[in-house]
Amino acid sequence: MPGIEHEEARIRRVYTAYAENGHGESKWSLENPGNVAINLERSRALGKMLDKSGFKPLADERILEVGCGGGRVICPNRSVW
């Protein structure tokens, strides 16, 4: 499909530009104020969902966190939840 190939090429150009000008580093930095707010909101919402579902506390549980990141959603919050 030409559309998919075109989109793949566009995405490669964007990420290449991010790498060349350092934009990606600040955009996805954990110190970026927007990312701090997103992570805090996500942590609170997930904590509430776990509480309602009866899956808390998690401090002594073994957890497999599967996703596209580096395990920074559930594991850092285990002792809080």
pLDDT at res. 16: 92
Domain regions of the chain by residue span: 2-55
Two tokens at 24? Answer: 């990606």
Span 31-80, pLDDT tens digits: 899 999 998 998 899 889 988 998 878 888 888 878 767 777 777 777 77
Q: Which residue has the tokens 């790498």?
A: 19
- Whether pTM exceeds 0.85: no
- What's the CA gap between 7 and 65, in Å, rounded? 30
